[in-house]
Structure 1
Amino acid sequence: MPSAPDSLTAWTARVRGALGWLGRKAARTPFRLFFFALVALACTWPLLRLAGSLNAYRDSHPLVQYEESARKAVLQFGQVPLWDPYYCGGMDLLGTPQSRHLSPTFLLSLIFGTLRAESLIAFAMILIGLEGTYRYVRARGASHLGATLSAPIFATSGLFAFLPALGWYNFFGFELLPWAAFGLRRAMAGGRGGRAGVVITAAAFAWMIGFGGTYTAPLSALFCAYEIVDGLVSRPSVRGRRLAAMKMVALAFVLALGLSAARLWPVLQTLQMAPRIVGGAPGIHPKNIFPALLGQIRPDENGDFPIAGNYLVGGFCVVAVAAGLARKKMWSYVLAGAAVIWLAQGYGIKVSLFAALRQLPIYSALRYPERFLVLLALLVSVVAALGITRLQVLLRAHGAYAPTLQVVVFAALAPLLLAVNLQPLIANHHAAANGRPMVAPPVAVDQPFRQARGTRWALAYYGPMERGCLSCYDAYPVPQSRLLRGDLPAEEYLEDPSGGTVSRTRWTPNAITLHAELTKPGRVFINQNWHPGWRTSEGTVENVKGLLAVALPAGAHDVVVRFLPRAATGGAAISLTTLIVLIALLRRRAGVRALDGREYALAVALPLAPLALTLALVHEPSPPSVDWKTPTGEDIVADAPPADATRIDAQFAEGVTLEAFKVTPSSVAPESVVTLELDWRVSPDVGSKMGVFVHVLPASGGGSGSNEELRADHVMISDVLAFEKAPPGKTLRDVVQMTIPYDAARRTWTVHVGLWRVRGNGKRIFVVDPGKSKVDDHRLELGTFTVQ
């Protein structure tokens, strides 16, 4: 019989041989991509099986609508998707932060249709994420086998299972994060590979932003900041080496901004016209971190997803991760992972790193801190891959460092468990996909376009019927005219009907052709929102309380009113120029290793030329000053509360008094609107950065619905006026309109109101005197209404 050492040697050889064979297969790109394709197919099979059906979940509707509007503009009207007339009375489609048509995946929507393309996009993005994670982990020093087996930990983690089930396919932009980080590592290395790294990073960020990267780009930038710091610390401090690396990093991000300009400029213009201010103190308890990373998704009866499994990395990776953490110089991964967990807890921890991060402009609008856990998934992938690599190295050791029985066992067990880890990851995708409320796709109706009052909860049905939905609720306060109507006999009409006639001769999303016969000068009203990007072939475009209008002289006119904003044309010119610069970087002679000063300055300056030319040659009206009106059209500033309001006279700290409260009507039907009015008064020394929270809780009733709380939190008075900018000593009418969910019926609801610190610690403002109301935890109980 062989001795124990001989037996150990034989087993070591077998394990080393098996891992070596697998490693050689993983190093071959066709084999690896085939394996990754199988993993992506296994994850997305439930999506592919129901491709073409509509996800009826409420958040899915606007995102489907954005993509379908863009597709229709291209295929039906032969136009670049610039204006979306189908939602909120019309909006800048490029400037809508969550639209995703300015990315390569839009080709799938064009070819297969919006609904069928969604599952194909999920498959393609997971496959891209798997290969990107492999390449990034390899650049971090992992073996081919370690990088291949650990890639699914990130690329199929829980985020990519549950958010697409809600319709949020734009979160697949996170699959480009490892590509951005991989590009940065190559850029910092310099040489021809450094130029390629600049291109990869710029392209990855541009894709994210074009794909609706409201979370993906800011969080990826944070991870790249870690990558930069880690790269500089680990880089030899040779004179000029670190400076050269930072120059390439700066070039990568400048070109990323330039390549994204076609999307960034319109989005910035949108946010200037309608700032997205997110308040509250979001956070998760530390005890929920482990269920999020190791649990399994179980959708609730509303189609929502509790925290368990939402960021799953799988527990079977623990052996590989432990082996990775046993390596030397792993402190950067540990510190980065601890920072991510700290950020993910948001305000759920006493000292909030998330609160500090929100002081930065691009992070102030982030609402869900737990999404930082997707960054932890990438770190876990790297550490697990390095663990497999370390075990492979130990298997090859000789002499005094020959592998022990424990090393052989762990070297065999760790890769096997990473393969087993695929099962909970894939099952998580299936659980989320099977929890979607899928219905038949909308039916298309060929008819002239008209606005309808509509309902946002069924938004995806209106575009195919050539109807615009005026029921508006989005992630940012869309500028919507109060003059929009859903019951007009014609969408274009004269302000003064006695002044002549006007008729539509041609309609497309970006351009409307009208024929007007005017007996006197007059204005043509168009039942869509005004935007500074609207232009007219005759007369002048005017903004009438947010409504699009064209002023014309007397006579006969054939007028083309066209949407062509400066942000779109200028942004496209910048992006095209940047693309030329990136191609030039890739085609530069292989023998030339570094950019000289002149070439570097030219690469940075060239994208600025179209920006300067656009600003100089293309003029647009400035957005109008904000009209201090309530959503119902009254003046916000008044001398006293309405006579039919209930006096409250409650005093808060920070110089704010709630004078009165009114709810209209007192009895409403489900899916109708209830109007709440809060009448505030501020002192000259009123505090800043405050918001209003409105919690509506069930007081009685036993309906079948499961809603336990309705919310109407907001930051500005009537969504227009900040407390610190309000005139002191006046009544400030804060009107809030809430759409009652269908499952809130047969209950009486109680309205609770308070103030909280929007920026900073997120805590509630103290109630100094409750006045004529009850107070609980610095929250006033004001009144009730009944849902029939």
Structure 2
Amino acid sequence: MTPPSRRLLRAAHHAASLPGPRLALFGLLALVACWYPLSRAGALSDFRDSHLLHSYEDAGTRTLTRYGQLPLWNPWSCGGQYALGSPQTRVASPTLLVSAALGARRAEPVVLWAFLVLGMEGFFRYARRRVGSALGALGAAPLFGLTGFTALSWSIGWLNFAGFLLLPWLLVGTYQAARGKVAGAALVAGVFALLLGFGGTYPVPMGALFVALEAGRTLYGMRGTARWRTALWGLGATALFTLAACAYRLWPLLETMRSSPRVMAGTPGHSIETLGRMLLELPASSGHSNPGNFFLMAVALALVPVAVVLSRRRALYPFVLGALCVWMAAGYSAKPSLFAGLRLLPIFGTLRYPERFLVPAGLFIAELAALGLAMLLVRAGRSPSPRWSWGAALACGLVVAGWGVQVHAFTRLTHWATLLAEPPPTPPEAERPFAQARGNRWAQGYFVAINRGSIACGEAWPVPMSERLRGDLPQEEYLEDAASGTARRVEWTPNRVEVDVAATRPAVLLVNQNWHPGWKASVGEVVSRDGLLGVQLPAGEHRVVLRFLPRSGIGGTVVSALAWVGLVFLAWRSRGRMHRLGPEALMVASVPLFVWAALLTAWREPVARAVPRNPDGSSMQVASLPPLARRLDVRFDAPVELVAAEVPSTPDAEGLLHMVLYWRVTGPVPRSAGVFVHLPGPEGSKRKNADHAVLGGTFFLREAPRDTLLRDAFAVSTTDWEAGEWKVLVGLWHAGGDGSRIGARGPDGRPLTESRVEAGAFTVPAKTAN
């Protein structure tokens, strides 16, 4: 390389190292990529998930700006739910302040832009240390920061998935914490706290997985040195500080999972060809399931072999991690399935879509691209041969061109948003007293604007809801016995309701919202009336003030505040000298957790549990078998009994066959156990299946209530089935494991052939000509 070329290369490296010009570049690229969302800021998306999830942000913004309260309780959704305990809400994130300043819908593209810049800057800082080149890290940063899945997430209302872009910051913080830096512990704790508050149902557990791997990688690199013990102290203190810093949101979420766990079943999977199309195929100009929604410019893959050939040692870790992520993304299609094994772990069992591991796969592919570019630049700077200079110049040109293609793909994916035409860009506002309405779970974006709650719930977890919720009441607060007196609303806010009651005798005041143990009353005792919020009152005239003061929200905030006080104390102690995270840091980090344990012990609350129900609304738990149920009394080589079944003789008028299986669980069942339902038909027809790992869509066999009769109701559509007799064969198998069947025995104790029982038969009638 000639001296002028070397000077140009040094200048480029210097410019890439300057935060100002680098952030300006990232901001410009993010602005171009987000131009469509920014230009349509405030428009209402017609996609159903967007309606549901955005209504949460709208509710939180309204609670903060209109009522001056923290968004603890959301009365506008599902008849009232604990906002901090709802996994998909992002009202506990600092981004709520942006929503409060700009309006919830106008803030979304601004938040998207900010996350893109953060993602690119985070990747730069992570990759620069890994590859040793500011220019190499700069070149690959937009390839990760503008990943297609973030654009798709915005277009369908899943903005909380933008949290994936903070993964590099977690890895940077983990490395710094292992070196004993307080800033590293604060970075990890802060990012995890932000992700939890932002509704990171996938970024948080997946981020924890890669933080653990990064910690192991760092410890392995320090083996045999004095720094190894320092790293253990630092990582241990970081883990404790992170747990405490997240308590403000983690405690409510754990409370929710305990009361009504979010169940994700199925065996999703993708072929390598499909995953390749998701990553490399340019997205279409419109659509929702078109390949290319994880688009990563192919130039990144082109630089991967360069990195492997020129720097095998440094390329090994990202190459292996990238391959493991792709293996994970294949889901159950891979044999053996790494994703299936991961779902056996606590928390990870709630992950449904394995293809989302393509996002961290993109991170490691981009790291390899940065390494490949860095190696070419190093060879070009050291070698007198012009071929290295030409190779480096060509790679730089391809990378810059790749930015343009990545931005183009990102823009295409943002156009998948089904934004309603103007005017109006947002639902019209209407000032009226709050009241519950029957609602529509896929059109909730309209209900908050008119101050109406929706009792049609579209959540992915079983929200504890009362059957006594009404959408047609003349007033929302009333006495259970109308003859016992009168009730008049004085003031209503999301977290506080004030009612004047005049009772001629002891009475129960009912509020048309769900009961939660966090509600406290100034007079009387808060009670649950079939899941409805009530207050038992003595006779007389009372000004009843109901306040929502949840133990987990208030206590968790205290714990999190103590964690940050501890981090500030350690930062103050370490200023001006080489003070590292050590035993002292571990003791400081333990204080908030001891306080948390004390609060759990001293401040007890009952649990609001959801009533387990089948998809058709019927109860999961029954006292006895109905008269028409057919006794089976099959026992399995697991503590499970198939007691009886109901199989109608023919499908209904719409071609649906509604079946019911009655189960009893008497002991611990393997997590992998699921139900198989095989439906063989007339000769020459293809066998149908109605397998399901979750009973009634409510819980796995392992989590099912013990020693009670469970009604597992489900249906299959027979509209395109061949006419004739079909059998219903039922058994248990390891749906989340090796696919083997669990042995079964009949009432006489003899093993059943093929470990299955015939639960009934039905006839599909011949199609009649129109």
Aligned-residue RMSD, C-alpha: 3.5
Question: Alignment partner for residue 553 of structure 1, among 535, 538, 544?
Answer: 538
**Which is worse superposed, 714-723 or 597-606?**
714-723
Asked if residue 418 in structure 1 is aligned to residue 399 in structure 2, the reply is yes
Residues 174-223 of structure 1 show CA distances to partners (whole Å, capped at 9, x for unaligned) of 11111111111122223xxx121111111111111111111001111111
Structure 2 runs not aligned, ≥5 long = 680-687, 743-753
SS in 1 for 2:244: helix
Mapped to 2, the partners of 1:136 and 1:125 lie a distance apart of 16
Mapped to 2, the partners of 1:597 and 1:686 lie a distance apart of 42
Asked if residue 734 in structure 1 is aligned to residue 719 in structure 2, the reply is no
Contact residue 46 and residue 433 of structure 1 kept, 8 A: yes
**Which is worse superposed, 267-276 or 603-612?**
603-612
Asked if residue 254 in structure 1 is aligned to residue 233 in structure 2, the reply is no
Give the drift of 1:404: 2.9
**CA spacing shift, 1:79–1:667, aligned 2, 3 Å:** farther
Question: Alignment partner for residue 429 of structure 1, among 410, 416, 420?
Answer: 410
Give the drift of 1:619: 3.5
SS in 1 for 2:178: helix
**CA spacing shift, 1:725–1:81, aligned 2, 3 Å:** closer
Q: Aligned residue for 1:241?
A: 227
Contact residue 536 and residue 562 of structure 1 kept, 8 A: yes
Mapped to 1, the partners of 2:459 and 2:610 lie a distance apart of 22
**CA spacing shift, 1:762–1:219, aligned 2, 3 Å:** farther
Residues 220-277 of structure 1 show CA distances to partners (whole Å, capped at 9, x for unaligned) of 1111122112212222521x42121122112122111211111111111111110112
Q: Aligned residue for 1:217?
A: 204
Q: Aligned residue for 1:312?
A: 295
Structure 1 runs not aligned, ≥5 long = 1-8, 697-708, 739-743, 775-780
Mapped to 2, the partners of 1:678 and 1:514 lie a distance apart of 46
Mapped to 2, the partners of 1:248 and 1:214 lie a distance apart of 27
Q: Aligned residue for 1:56?
A: 46
Give the drift of 1:317: 2.4
Asked if residue 47 in structure 1 is aligned to residue 34 in structure 2, the reply is no
Give the drift of 1:731: 6.3
Mapped to 2, the partners of 1:685 and 1:142 lie a distance apart of 56
What amino acid is aligned across from residue 376 of structure 2 in structure 1?
L
Q: Aligned residue for 1:701?
A: none
What amino acid is aligned across from residue 614 of structure 1 in structure 2?
L
Q: Aligned residue for 2:419?
A: 438
1:75-94 matches, cutoff 5 A: 75-94=65-84
Mapped to 2, the partners of 1:571 and 1:170 lie a distance apart of 22
Give the drift of 1:173: 0.9
Contact residue 319 and residue 365 of structure 2 kept, 8 A: no
**CA spacing shift, 1:132–1:455, aligned 2, 3 Å:** same
Provide the identity percentage.
35
Question: Alignment partner for residue 332 of structure 2, among 344, 347, 365?
Answer: 347
What amino acid is aligned across from residue 48 of structure 2 in structure 1?
R
Q: Aligned residue for 1:278?
A: 264
Mapped to 1, the partners of 2:735 and 2:271 lie a distance apart of 20
Q: Aligned residue for 2:456?
A: 471
Asked if residue 231 in structure 1 is aligned to residue 205 in structure 2, the reply is no
Contact residue 491 and residue 527 of structure 1 kept, 8 A: yes
Q: Aligned residue for 2:91?
A: 101
What amino acid is aligned across from residue 147 of structure 1 in structure 2?
A
Give the drift of 1:509: 0.7
Mapped to 1, the partners of 2:739 and 2:245 lie a distance apart of 36
SS in 1 for 2:10: helix
**CA spacing shift, 1:601–1:251, aligned 2, 3 Å:** closer
Contact residue 651 and residue 767 of structure 1 kept, 8 A: no
SS in 2 for 1:287: helix
What's the TM-score once normalised by structure 2's chain length? 0.87
1:326-345 matches, cutoff 5 A: 326=309, 327-329=311-313, 330-345=315-330
Q: Aligned residue for 1:404?
A: 385
Contact residue 165 and residue 436 of structure 1 kept, 8 A: yes
Mapped to 1, the partners of 2:238 and 2:766 lie a distance apart of 56
Question: Alignment partner for residue 678 of structure 1, among 646, 660, 683?
Answer: 660
Mapped to 1, the partners of 2:19 and 2:678 lie a distance apart of 55
Give the drift of 1:130: 0.8
Residues 617-641 of structure 1 show CA distances to partners (whole Å, capped at 9, x for unaligned) of 5342344696789975668324333
Q: Aligned residue for 2:253?
A: 267
1:603-618 matches, cutoff 5 A: 603-618=588-603
Asked if residue 205 in structure 1 is aligned to residue 192 in structure 2, the reply is yes
Q: Aligned residue for 1:365?
A: 350
Give the drift of 1:386: 1.7
**CA spacing shift, 1:685–1:70, aligned 2, 3 Å:** closer
SS in 1 for 2:456: coil
SS in 2 for 1:140: helix
Q: Aligned residue for 1:182?
A: 172
**CA spacing shift, 1:186–1:733, aligned 2, 3 Å:** closer
Contact residue 559 and residue 596 of structure 2 kept, 8 A: yes
Question: Alignment partner for residue 11 of structure 2, among 11, 17, 21?
Answer: 21
**CA spacing shift, 1:299–1:610, aligned 2, 3 Å:** farther
Mapped to 2, the partners of 1:553 and 1:144 lie a distance apart of 72
Mapped to 2, the partners of 1:685 and 1:95 lie a distance apart of 30
Residues 66-111 of structure 1 show CA distances to partners (whole Å, capped at 9, x for unaligned) of 1011111111111111000111111100111111122222121011
Give the drift of 1:424: 2.5
Q: Aligned residue for 1:768?
A: 756
Contact residue 42 and residue 426 of structure 2 kept, 8 A: yes
Q: Give the paired residue count.
A: 734
What amino acid is aligned across from residue 410 of structure 1 in structure 2?
G
1:141-152 matches, cutoff 5 A: 141-152=131-142
Contact residue 693 and residue 735 of structure 2 kept, 8 A: no
What amino acid is aligned across from residue 310 of structure 1 in structure 2?
N
What amino acid is aligned across from residue 320 of structure 1 in structure 2?
L
Mapped to 1, the partners of 2:244 and 2:399 lie a distance apart of 40
1:681-700 matches, cutoff 5 A: 681-682=663-664, 689=671, 690-691=673-674
Q: Aligned residue for 2:129?
A: 139
**CA spacing shift, 1:686–1:597, aligned 2, 3 Å:** closer
Mapped to 1, the partners of 2:545 and 2:591 lie a distance apart of 35
Give the drift of 1:310: 2.1
What's the TM-score once normalised by structure 1's chain length? 0.85
Question: Alignment partner for residue 110 of structure 1, among 100, 112, 127?
Answer: 100
Contact residue 675 and residue 735 of structure 1 kept, 8 A: no
Give the drift of 1:426: 1.2
What amino acid is aligned across from residue 292 of structure 2 in structure 1?
G
**CA spacing shift, 1:19–1:275, aligned 2, 3 Å:** same
Contact residue 649 and residue 771 of structure 1 kept, 8 A: yes
SS in 2 for 1:422: helix
SS in 2 for 1:364: helix
**CA spacing shift, 1:236–1:598, aligned 2, 3 Å:** closer
1:296-695 matches, cutoff 5 A: 296-298=282-284, 303-306=287-290, 308-326=291-309, 327-329=311-313, 330-397=315-382, 402-439=383-420, 440-595=425-580, 599-623=584-608, 632=617, 636-641=621-626, 643=628, 655-656=641-642, 659-661=645-647, 666=652, 678-682=660-664, 689=671, 690-691=673-674
**CA spacing shift, 1:86–1:227, aligned 2, 3 Å:** same
Q: Aligned residue for 2:148?
A: 158
**Which is worse superposed, 36-45 or 587-596?**
587-596
Contact residue 84 and residue 90 of structure 1 kept, 8 A: yes
What amino acid is aligned across from residue 733 of structure 1 in structure 2?
R
What amino acid is aligned across from residue 298 of structure 1 in structure 2?
A
**CA spacing shift, 1:318–1:611, aligned 2, 3 Å:** closer
Give the drift of 1:65: 0.8
What amino acid is aligned across from residue 106 of structure 2 in structure 1?
R
What amino acid is aligned across from residue 288 of structure 1 in structure 2?
T
Give the drift of 1:335: 1.7
Give the drift of 1:597: 5.3
